[in-house]
Amino acid sequence: MLNLRQKPCILVTGGAGFIGSHTVCELLDHDYDVVMIDDFYNAKPEVLDAIRTITKKDFVFEEGDCADRDFMDRIFREHTIDAVIHFAGYKAVGESVAKPLMYYRNNLDTTLTLLETMKKHGCHNLVFSSSATVYAYSEKMPLYESNPLGTTNPYGETKRMIERILTDVSHADPEDSFICLRYFNPVGAHPSGLIGEDPNGIPNNLMPFIVKVATGKIAKLRVFGNDYDTPDGTGMRDYIHVVDLAKAHLLALNYAFKRTGIDYINVGTGNGTSVLEMVESFRRVNHVDVPYEIVGRRPGDLAKVWADTSYAKKTLGFTAEKTIDDMCRDAYNYGVKHMK
Ligand code: UD1
């Protein structure tokens, strides 16, 4: 719950990253005070000025690691933090399989240190960046929050473990108010083209890969399988525009301020889009070619994944507004300006 003050102060960990930076823009646009921390492991310092340009507002930035107790303690001593949005963490599935210890150590350590520091300073409100990857395989779509959990890689397992830690911690303290947002497939970029997703090296995910092909950095998209049980045979996912996702964090914060306990909430659109539908939209809205070839299935991929979104609507009042065309337009606009 929130002790009523005019402007709540929100600590955003990993705030310079893809989803974090868009969420910080939303917070500043809605007159929250923001303290951002990031260690630039997977983000660039230029993002800070881009956020200031977009919002015409300023915020506190501290460079550091959430697993560093002294650093975190200082942040909470120097600022009265009303709530935390916790994005900081490693997020590459393939890398997590190759370096599981690095993933478990980093993602769990940062969260445990954050939670201990919050306890020490009497901060009880937290929105956690979880993922639809926590759900066990299901033939049936959509995925409901009540579906069984089960993961297939260390990255996903860190998300599931952190959800479990948050559950236990919140059960032990009646003042805690925690929300785990289970993101589906965040894509797109800020319409200004100033912030977006710029993965290091060759992208693994579909949208950044399409952008690299469309901007001539990579010759062809490889479509992983056209023999799935879907209308055109290619894999279907629930893509959500990152600006819609950022708005869901604000709604989640306001919800966290009003009640106590823990909730797990899907954030998606509720619609599945196939790889070829995405390519077609991208070509049409951006007037650009996206050469592709059909190759074999990617190991571990599922035919279809999308969310049931009724709980997000009921609890947060959240409904995604942006379309696949918006996602393609904004991702390309950012890519043309920024991707190397
Ligand atoms: C991946 C992650 C998931 C993460 C999500 C974030 C895996 C196994 N899962 O999910 O943990 O939360 O990203 O967005 O990596 N595709 C191609 N060609 C490509 C790339 C992708 O055809 O070059 C297809 C895939 O087969 C899939 C769809 O595009 O059908 C989406 O793939 P991707 O963007 O990697 O997302 P997910 O696999 O859903």
DSSP 12-27: EETTTSHHHHHHHHHH
Which domains does the chain possess? 9-187+239-269 (3.40.50.720)
- The confidence score (pLDDT) of residue 2 equals 54
Residues with active-site annotation: 155
Q: Which of 149, 181, 205, 298 gets mutated to test ligand 1 (max ligand atoms within 8 A of its CB)? A: 205
Q: What is the DSSP letter of 304?
A: B
Instruction: Specify the 3-state DSSP secondary structure of 35.
Output: strand
CB contact burial 259-282 (16+ within 10 A = b; e otherwise): eeebbbbbbbbbbbbbbbbbbbbb
DSSP 172-190: H-TT-EEEEEEE-EEE---
Provide the token pair at 207: 């949208």
User: Atom 1 in ligand 1: which residue has the minimum CA distance?
Assistant: 205
Q: What tens digit of pLDDT does each residue of 40-88 get? A: 999 999 999 999 999 999 999 999 999 999 999 999 999 999 999 999 9
Provide the token pair at 112: 């445990």
- The confidence score (pLDDT) of residue 201 equals 80
Mean pLDDT computed over 174-187: 98
CA of residue 71 to ligand 1 center, whole Å: 35
Mean pLDDT computed over 288-304: 95
For the full predicted model, state whether its pTM sits above 0.95.
Answer: yes
Rounded alpha-carbon distances, angstroms, from residue 314 to 83, 251, 255, 265, 305:
22, 12, 11, 10, 21
User: Atom 2 in ligand 1: which residue has the minimum CA distance?
Assistant: 93
Q: What tens digit of pLDDT does each residue of 321-331 get? A: 999 999 999 99
Provide the token pair at 265: 């909430």
Looking at the CA of residue 234, tell me the nearest atom of ligand 1.
Answer: 30
Looking at the CA of residue 236, tell me the nearest atom of ligand 1.
Answer: 30
When the pLDDT of each residue in the chain is averaged and rounded to a whole number, the result is 96
